[in-house]
Each structure stands twice: as structure tokens, then as C-alpha cells.
Amino acid sequence: MSLQIQEVPAMSAPMELLLLADPSEDKVRSYFPRSKCFVASNGEAVVGACLVQPLGAGAYELMSIAIQPAHQKSGHGTVLLKWVIDFFRKSGASQIEVGTGTFGYQLAFYQRHGFRVTAIDRDFFIKNYPEPVFEDGIQLFDMLRLTLRYTADVA
């Protein structure tokens, strides 16, 4: 099934979807003023959303990406991520970054599209969330910073 992807005002972003990727509503709301929001619809309903924020000097950060649980593992997340990568490539961005946990399928999801590990933010999930954050029953402590460079990687 094809998806229609479009930008919407961040203030009208589907919060219940974005909370699947980040358990803190306060944090998600804090991204709104500076973020672009993209939503994916299947013709009947919004099935996915993401927020992207500029970091300066042509760099952007994917703050959140999520697909409705009933529609996950159907390729929609891949379509939305590829669309966002292409959108920022065409807009002349130098790189796009994302922060994610140190394990789990999300790590493969990003690396499959060319994101590389560029830093570790130790204890990020302890310092930034009031409650412990779990993935697959395992507590998340550290955040991996991943970067997709649009220009040739000379590192």
C-alpha cells in the first residue's frame, strides 16, 4: 500500500504516535517550536510521523519517528525514513543525526540506511528521564548518536 507523506505544522503533530518513540510528552513538546513534522497517511488514516530539528551548519536531527503499532513491520517506517533522508538531501543538508538506544531493532533500522555511530552519550536515559526507560525488558542507560553524512565520509 502506498503512503502519502507531507509536512504539517509541528503543533498539529500526532502526539500519541510520537510518544511511541519518546516517553516524555514534555520533551516531545519542547521540540515543536524548532521542528519540521512529517506525517505519513495510507489514504484512510495517519500511520506514521516524525520530527526533524535543525542543528545548524546544514546538520539536522531526527528527534522522533514512529509508526502506529498496528502498521509496524509493514515497511512504512522504511518508506518514511527514506523519504525524510531524501527530503533533507535535496534541501542541501550536510548530515542528519539521530539518537537511539544501544541495542534493539531500531539500531539496525538506522544503520541499514547509512547511519554510522559517531558518539556515545553515557547515562543519557538516566539523566534526561524521570523514570527508567526500558526496551524489550532491558533498561536503557546510554544513547548512541548516529550520523548519516550526505557528503563523502572522509573520517
Ligand X SMILES: CC(C)(COP(=O)(O)OP(=O)(O)OC[C@H]1O[C@@H](n2cnc3c(N)ncnc32)[C@H](O)[C@@H]1OP(=O)(O)O)[C@@H](O)C(=O)NCCC(=O)NCCS
Q: Which residues lie near ligand X (CB under 6 A)?
A: 20-21, 65-67, 72-78, 100, 105-106, 109
- Give me the least distance between CB of 87 and ligand X, in Å please: 16
Q: Which is nearer to ligand X, 3 or 151 (CB)?
A: 3
Exposed e or buried b per residue across 96-113, where buried means at least 16 C-beta atoms within 10 angstroms of its C-beta: bbbbbbbeeebbebbeee
Q: Which is nearer to ligand X, 21 or 93 (CB)?
A: 21
- Give me the least distance between CB of 11 and ligand X, in Å please: 21
- CB contact set of 8 (below 8 Å; sequence gap of 6+): 37, 38, 39
Q: Which is nearer to ligand X, 119 or 152 (CB)?
A: 119
- CB contact set of 90 (below 8 Å; sequence gap of 6+): none
How far apart, in whole angstroms, are the C-alpha atoms of residue 5 and residue 25? 23
Q: Which residues pair with 99 in a beta bridge?
A: 145
- Give me the least distance between CB of 19 and ligand X, in Å please: 9
- Give me the least distance between CB of 58 and ligand X, in Å please: 22
- Give me the least distance between CB of 67 and ligand X, in Å please: 4
Nearest of 111, 86, 89 to residue 98 by alpha carbon: 111
Q: Which is nearer to ligand X, 94 or 111 (CB)?
A: 111
Q: Which is nearer to ligand X, 73 or 90 (CB)?
A: 73
Q: Which residue is nearest to ligand X (CB)?
A: 77
Asked if 40 and 66 touch (Cβ cutoff 8 Å), the reply is no
C-alpha cell at 19: 510518544
